């Protein structure tokens, strides 16, 4: 594909970016291995991530991409991995982990407004935190009845060791919110995708994916 055709192709494409969770789960929340939580307060770390993210998004815009869906971080304090840490009662999420994500999600929401000032750009913020929180608070509404442990995993909350090869998963994964120590099930991802595609601005701001596709 030639340069002109590539630019046209990228301009009509949509980039879906889901970043941030691993920076917390596999770095900031592992103080025994990484020093980031000693070097940065939660707001400072969030702003560090956002500044790097913004530079990469501007670079992608420079390559010709114009439509972006930026997913926020979900309530990581509620994943089986964090529940299994023993930092909260068995039936509760780890509140301080959820609270520290506010700066990142609010900053990403604001970043969308800033980036949409670029000519021809369409950025949308997917409110993963609120959508997953709604599922966790009202599981029966969505057909779930297991919210605190993984379908496949080992140890407390099936979240101390994540799903490994040859592990035997649960037989009814459709009623589980979490597949393993870290990730939601396909059923949850389907809900998140639908809310991003056709949901109101509280789900996908300032426009949803379906509305974005109407622009050539």
Residues 6+ apart with CB under 8 A from 84: 155, 156, 157, 159, 160, 181
pLDDT reported for residue 4: 77
Residues 6+ apart with CB under 8 A from 200: 208
Please give the distance of CA 46 from its chain centroid, rounded to a whole number: 14
pLDDT reported for residue 3: 77
Mean pLDDT by 10 residues, the chain (216 residues): 85 95 97 97 98 98 96 98 90 95 98 97 98 98 97 93 93 97 97 98 98 87
pLDDT reported for residue 216: 67
């Amino acid at each position: 594909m030639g340069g002109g055709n590539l630019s046209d192709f990228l301009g009509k494409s949509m980039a879906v970016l889901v970043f941030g969770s691993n920076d917390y789960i596999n770095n900031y929340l592992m103080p025994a291995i990484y020093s980031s939580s000693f070097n940065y307060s939660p707001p400072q770390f969030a702003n560090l991530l956002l500044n790097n993210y913004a530079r990469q998004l501007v670079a992608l815009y420079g390559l010709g991409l114009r439509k972006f869906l930026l997913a926020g971080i979900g309530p990581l304090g509620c994943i089986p991995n964090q529940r299994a840490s023993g930092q909260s009662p068995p039936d509760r999420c780890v509140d301080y982990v959820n609270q520290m994500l506010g700066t990142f999600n609010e900053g990403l929401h604001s970043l969308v407004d800033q980036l949409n000032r670029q000519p021809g750009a369409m950025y949308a913020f997917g409110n993963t935190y609120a959508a997953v929180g709604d599922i966790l608070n009202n599981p029966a509404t969505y057909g779930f009845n297991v919210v605190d442990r993984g379908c496949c995993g080992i140890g407390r909350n099936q979240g101390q060791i994540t799903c490994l090869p040859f592990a035997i998963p649960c037989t009814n994964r459709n009623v589980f919110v979490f597949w393993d120590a870290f990730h939601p099930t396909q059923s949850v991802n389907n809900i998140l995708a639908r809310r991003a595609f056709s949901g109101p601005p509280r789900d996908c701001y300032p426009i949803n994916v379906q509305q974005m596709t109407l622009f050539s």
